[in-house]
Amino acid sequence: MQVIAFISGKGGVGKTTLAANVAIALAQEGKRVLLIDLDVQNALRLHLGMDPLDIAGIVREGISPTSMFRSPFGVKFIPFGIALKTELEEFETVLRQHPAWILDRIVALGKHAIDFVVLDTPPGSSVFLRQALFAANLALGVVLADAASFATIPRLFSLVTEYTRARDDFYGLRLLANQVSDQNQLCAQVRAALQTDYGKSMVPIAVRCAVAVSESLAFEQPVLQYDNSCSASQDITRLAQWLIKWSASAGSRVR
């Protein structure tokens, strides 16, 4: 079992969309995948065909086989859920008091039952990011090829270092460029700067910009289902294949 955390230094970079579609792409490659939403925005359900009025989620049901929603796209899914303010405060208190809460429940599922656990997290520092990084074997930091996103990278590395300092089974933070365009001069310049400053930490696959991504969300479908031939879908499939190769080389997690 490998745990992959999708993280970001700022919102609006397409992190949740990538988390959902990469999980689906892994399932399409024959892997058993569990996708968990740790973001209070509760937006992952919009990509997985879940009833938007369903209040179920990790806050109330936790992480267990009975709390998993079986999506139409081959991925098991636990939404964040809709919670009252008092319920959310109580949940955050539990997470602060028990840093391994997420990890312990993932491990309890059994390492042979799931190949990949994909975690979506809120942008920036939070108790949910800390929990995700305590459990993850690899963090994918989603960035746009723009100046605002580029500026958040040092802080993102700092947070990952702070939250994983005691880990011996964490394989690091890799930066994943999203919504890139070869036609945009600024985008090309920032991508060059990313390669210069963070080349060794870059995922070797960038996800290209495609209109189908926003269109698919409007139809509450993953882009892989809506248009599997668009540039973004092709890149996401390649990213899933890269993760599978990475997993094989990283080996199984030992706790």
Beginning with the edge strand found earlier in the chain, give each strand of the sheet holding 207-208 in spatial order: 69-70, 76-78, 33-37, 116-120, 2-7, 138-144, 173-180, 207-208
In a domain, 129, yes or no: yes
Both tokens of 242, joined, read 């890269």
> Does pTM top 0.85 for this prediction?
yes
d(CA 163, CA 5): 13
Q: What are phi and psi of 104, to 5 degrees?
A: -60, -40
Burial call 122-133: b when 16+ CB within 10 Å, e when fewer: bbeebbbbbbbb
Phi-psi region of 228 (alpha: psi -120 to 50; beta: other; left: phi over 0): alpha
pLDDT at position 54 is 82
Tell me if 9 is assigned to some domain: yes
Written as tens digits, the pLDDT of the chain (255 aa) is 999 999 999 988 999 999 999 999 999 999 999 999 999 999 898 888 888 778 889 999 999 999 999 988 999 999 999 888 999 999 999 999 999 999 999 999 887 789 999 999 999 899 999 999 999 999 999 999 888 888 999 999 999 999 998 888 899 999 999 998 877 777 788 888 888 889 899 999 999 999 999 899 888 889 999 999 999 999 999 999 999 999 888 764 444
Instruction: Let me know if residue 109 belongs to a domain.
Output: yes
Q: What CATH code is carried by the domain that includes residue 188?
A: 3.40.50.300
Enumerate helices (H) and strands (E) in the chain, giving the number of each. Answer: 11, 8
Domain-embedded: residue 29: yes
Structural domain of residue 26, as residue ranges?
2-249
240 in a structural domain? yes
Q: How many residues does this entry show for the chain?
A: 255
Rounded to whole angstroms, the Cα distance separating 213 from 230 reads 9
Does any domain span residue 220?
A: yes
Count of beta carbons in the 10 Å neighbourhood of residue 90: 13
Q: For the chain, what is the domain count?
A: 1
The answer to whether the CB of 138 falls within 8 A of the CB of 203 is: no
255 is a domain residue: no
In a domain? residue 254: no
